[in-house]
Amino acid sequence: MLHFLATILSLYVIIRLILPLRLPRWGKLALALLTLLCALKLYFFRLTFGSMMPDLPRWFMIATGMLHGALILLIILCALRDAVLLALWLARRFLPQLPRPSLSGGQWAAGLLVISLLMSATAVQQALRVPDVHRLSLVLPRLPRDLDGLRIVQLSDLHISSAFPRPWVQAVVDRVNALKPDLIVITGDLADGPPLRHSGDIAPLAQLRAPLGVFSCTGNHEYYWGYQGWMKNSRKQGIRPLENTHVALKTRGRQLVLAGVTDQAAPAFGLPGPDMAQALAGAPRDATRIMLAHRPRLITQSARANVDLQLSGHTHGGQLAGVNQVVAFFNDGFLAGTYHERGTTLYVHPGSGLWAGFPLRLLVPSEITEITLRAPHGAS
């Protein structure tokens, strides 16, 4: 269905933008073929490499990603242009004196092609940069006064791969350690690609330092590339995956329950899916509870399990401003930022990296998130 839709949309661009260009027939044909190739990129990846997520050289993923992104932006710009032209045509039926657009079809097409390419290049640059630190404070009603000010750094959707190699990972680690957090968590989609091939890229994560430790939950992408291999690699770097389990951390004379669940993709690979009852079995009931769950839609289960804070990722914030609400639609309305569900707070991380198959961010920046936990006024 996705490939059929991509074909229809590419034909729309060909008819509305490429055919009006003042080019020789062979030039239009070449652009039309390039449009189809870009639209069906993932389909051709699967045909050629056996997967829509091949582990390919960085330059190739960036180049194809920029062209693919430019086409998507071009479709959006073309649709907006046609909507404006239709509105003007309807308006002139009642107000004949309204001026007609002075640009020809060819001029429109050339202008939109240039704009989409520039926007895509900017979006790729924004996607691949080292994320900035985003700071926020979250008040948790059950947080005791002794834990007020506890700082957690959350990373999510690092997608360590050829697109996000060792130097990028090292820069992220350096920024995290400079914050000197009490606790570090990684909420899924740690890496893309075979674990052995990217063991060097992930190695800087071993330098992460926090008094309470470094913990993670799994995302869907760990399962695509060899779950057991990535879990072994995580532990080797000093990261403790929480797979439907919890730890009771002791700090400042108090206990803090940190739990994590597996991803909903797990059963398709013959592995246990998320189980919050199992994750919290035996956890102290009077301690503050933090749940690591890659997908934000698990917030309903967290609320039923008396969780105080759920930390999630998965959505990448929608990546492209203006169309990111489509991503929210497929994630039960969650996109990025803070939400609340029956006394449970949810923070949806927009991602520190992203999948190299679509390496674009437009006005949706990546981030390293520093969360300061706050107790309510008057807490004991």
pLDDT on residue 341 = 92
State the DSSP code for 276.
Answer: H
Query: Are residue 88 and residue 106 in the same domain, yes or no?
Result: yes
pLDDT in tens, 219-266: 999 999 889 999 999 999 999 999 999 999 999 999 999 999 999 999
Q: Domain span at residue 196?
A: 133-374
Decide if pLDDT at 102 tops 70.
Answer: no
Decide if pLDDT at 94 tops 80.
Answer: no
pLDDT on residue 7 = 85
Query: Are residue 101 and residue 71 in the same domain, yes or no?
Result: yes
User: How far is the CA of 259 from the CAs of 15, 51, 71, 186, 262, in angstroms?
Assistant: 53, 33, 41, 12, 11
State the DSSP code for 285.
Answer: T
pLDDT on residue 45 = 85
Query: Are residue 93 and residue 207 in the same domain, yes or no?
Result: no
Q: How many alpha carbons fall within 13 Å on the CB side of residue 102?
A: 1
Cβ(129)–Cβ(366) below 8 Å: yes
Q: Give the 3-state secondary structure of residue 259.
A: strand
Query: Which residue type does 301 have?
Result: Q
Widest distance between CA atoms in the chain: 77
Query: Are residue 48 and residue 72 in the same domain, yes or no?
Result: yes
Query: Which residue type does 153 have?
Result: V
In 3D, which of 103, 44, 99, 92 has the Cα closest to residue 68? Answer: 44
pLDDT on residue 78 = 87
Gap between the Cα atoms of 299 and 280, Å rounded = 15
Residue 379 lies in a domain: no
pLDDT on residue 379 = 65
Query: Are residue 198 and residue 301 in the same domain, yes or no?
Result: yes
Query: Are residue 146 and residue 27 in the same domain, yes or no?
Result: no
Backbone angles phi, psi at 136, to 5 degrees: -150, 155
Cβ(349)–Cβ(313) below 8 Å: yes
Query: Are residue 154 and residue 281 in the same domain, yes or no?
Result: yes
Query: Are residue 39 and residue 187 in the same domain, yes or no?
Result: no
CB atoms within 10 A of CB 330: 10
Q: Which of 103, 126, 149 is the last residue of a domain?
A: 126
Cβ(73)–Cβ(120) below 8 Å: yes
Residue 380 lies in a domain: no
DSSP 3-state helix, strand, coil percentages of the chain (rounded to 5)? 45, 20, 40
Query: Which residue type does 227 have?
Result: Y
Q: Which of 126, 150, 168 is the last residue of a domain?
A: 126
Identify the bridge partners of residue 370 per DSSP, sorted by sequence position: 135, 153
**H helices then E strands: how many in the chain?**
12, 12
Q: What is the mean pLDDT of the chain?
A: 91
Cβ(214)–Cβ(208) below 8 Å: yes
- 235: tokens are 């532990």
Residue 88 lies in a domain: yes
CATH number at residue 151: 3.60.21.10
How many independent structural domains does the chain possess? Answer: 2
* pTM (predicted TM-score): 0.91
Q: Which of 98, 126, 154 is the last residue of a domain?
A: 126
Gap between the Cα atoms of 195 and 211, Å rounded = 27
Q: Give the 3-state secondary structure of residue 12.
A: helix
pLDDT on residue 110 = 82
Query: Are residue 154 and residue 234 in the same domain, yes or no?
Result: yes
Query: Are residue 140 and residue 114 in the same domain, yes or no?
Result: no
Query: Are residue 255 and residue 280 in the same domain, yes or no?
Result: yes
pLDDT on residue 52 = 77
Residue 94 lies in a domain: yes
The DSSP result for 85-152, as a single string, is HHHHHHHHHH-TTSPPP-S-HHHHHHHHHHHHHHHHHHHHHHHHSPPEEEEEEEE-TT--GGGTT-EE
Cβ(192)–Cβ(158) below 8 Å: no
pLDDT in tens, 115-144: 999 999 999 999 999 999 999 999 999 999
pLDDT on residue 44 = 84
pLDDT on residue 14 = 87
In 3D, which of 125, 134, 230 has the Cα closest to residue 175? Answer: 134
Query: Are residue 61 and residue 183 in the same domain, yes or no?
Result: no
H/E element, 37: helix 25-39
pLDDT in tens, 289-339: 999 999 999 999 999 999 999 999 999 999 998 888 888 888 889 999 999
pLDDT on residue 335 = 94
